[in-house]
Amino acid sequence: MLDFSFTEEQEMFRKSVRDFAQKEIAPRVKEHIEAKLFPREMVKAMAKMGLTGMAIPEKYGGTPKEWVTMGLAMEELAKVSLPAASIPFFSESGALMIQLGSSKLQKEWLPLIASGDKVVCMGVTEPEAGSDVAGIKTRAVRDGEHYIINGIKTSAAYGTQGDAAFVLANTAAEGDTKGFCAFLVPFELPGVTRERIWDMGWEPLGRGRITLENVKIPVEYRLAKEGEGFLRTMHMMDGARAHASLMAMGLAQAALDDALSFAKQRIAFGGPIAKFEAVSFRLAEAATAIEMGRWLCYRALWLRDHNLPHSKEAAMCKYWCPKVAVEIIHDALLIHGNVGFSKDYPVEQRFRDAVGLEIGDGTASIMKLIIARQILGREFVPTR
């Protein structure tokens, strides 16, 4: 990727998403936060822009884009609203998993995701199995032409507002990933209950706990074959991690832009604080880190677009970008001083949202294990 650059079409797409975000989303961000809700009419508006169908074939109503192009959309949306950027993120992950399922399932669900009528969440994390995905306890037992699923999924962003989740469950003994299966579980099915988790950030996303009690799922709602659920989910996660990392960079860029403007206007000791090295050097460091993070992410996505190995690169993105974003936004808050600590300025919200990105889709420690495994070899990787 020595000669990588965005195409004219990609730059035009980025501008269209940026204009949409500024016009349609930005004026309502505070409203969404106060209501602790990201409304469906906003999802529908994003669908009209093609933002919920970027991972869906045209025959199902999608507007398919390359992984790099999808990343541009999520980065631009995150500059205005992390919850808004999360909607195409959910649509992407849900659509990709559903495309592993039966043709009947695809015909039924993919057009509904593309149109914004349905939002599919991720149901992987459990109360006792977050980073240790292999330790999930949710069980799926075959019963003729159905599976009976029992278990609890937690930390499902948009879980209390969405319509379904792709759920990772085990058909074998606990800890045996060879028995893992993924299923699409509509929330209206008997035995599904949801409970909201109240978070320090991400308020409009309605993160939730999903309890599955003897939920009966038709075989055609299984995504891929038995035993393929773990690997298929992890492959999907590689792209998702790079996209989540670009969302972190979008938050950081918005915080930096505000800090640059504030530093030029804020007068202290007879002049703008931008003239002080203590401020200007922080801004310079932030600008450099954001540029580095963005290109790391886009390189990983470029590799995926070209069907090249990218697990290590995706893990590098997810380890480094959210951590750096939190540091940059923290510095931006301090540059704003006491007003940055208030809800009158968006920097405090960005800080809280960015912390969540350090946790979801794989913590820094797990990402470092993935990186170490690839650069050292499995025999040298710490087991604890």
Per-residue model confidence as pLDDT tens digits over 203-240: 999 899 999 999 999 999 999 888 888 888 888 999 99
Instruction: Return the number of other C-beta atoms located less than 10 Å from residue 22's C-beta.
Output: 13
Q: Of residues 39 and 380, which shows the higher confidence score?
A: 39
Mean pLDDT of 149-154: 96
When pLDDT is averaged across residues 250-257 and rounded to a whole number, the result is 98
Q: What is the pLDDT of residue 2?
A: 44
pLDDT band for 135, please (50, 70, 90 cuts).
Answer: confident
pTM of the model: 0.95
Amino acid 157: pLDDT:
93
Interval 37-58 mean pLDDT? 97
The pLDDT of residue 175? 62
Please tell me the CATH superfamily of domain 230-380, with its number: Butyryl-CoA Dehydrogenase, subunit A, domain 3 (1.20.140.10)
Instruction: Give the percent of the chain with pLDDT over 70.
Output: 97
**Mean pLDDT, the chain, as a whole number?**
94
Distances in whole angstroms, Cα of residue 179 to Cα of each of 3, 139, 150? 43, 10, 15
Is 42's pLDDT higher than 50? yes
Nearest to 373 by CA among 321, 302, 311, 323: 311
Domain range summary for the chain, segments of one domain joined by +:
8-114, 120-226, 230-380
Burial of 229 by CB count in 10 Å (0-12 exposed, 13-18 middle, 19+ buried)?
Answer: buried
Return the structure tokens found at 75: 């980065």
Q: How far apart are CA 349 and CA 33, in angstroms?
A: 9
CATH architecture of 8-114: Orthogonal Bundle (1.10)
CA distances from 47 to 9, 26, 152 (A): 19, 17, 30
Closest CA to 131 of 373, 374, 383, 360: 360
Position 172 scores a pLDDT of 82
Q: What is the largest CA-CA distance in the chain?
A: 79
Rounded alpha-carbon distances, angstroms, from residue 280 to 232, 287, 291: 45, 11, 17
Residue 68 is encoded by which pair of tokens?
Answer: 């790099």
pLDDT in tens, 344-353: 999 999 999 9
* Percentage above 90 pLDDT, the chain: 87
In terms of DSSP bridges, do strands 180-186 and 164-170 run parallel, antiparallel, or are they unpaired?
Answer: antiparallel
Class of domain 120-226: mainly beta
The whole-number pLDDT of residue 174 equals 66
Using one digit for the tens of pLDDT, what is the confidence trace for 182-208?
A: 999 999 999 999 999 999 999 999 899
Averaged over 375-384, what is the pLDDT?
Answer: 79
pLDDT score for 68: 97
- pLDDT for 229: 83
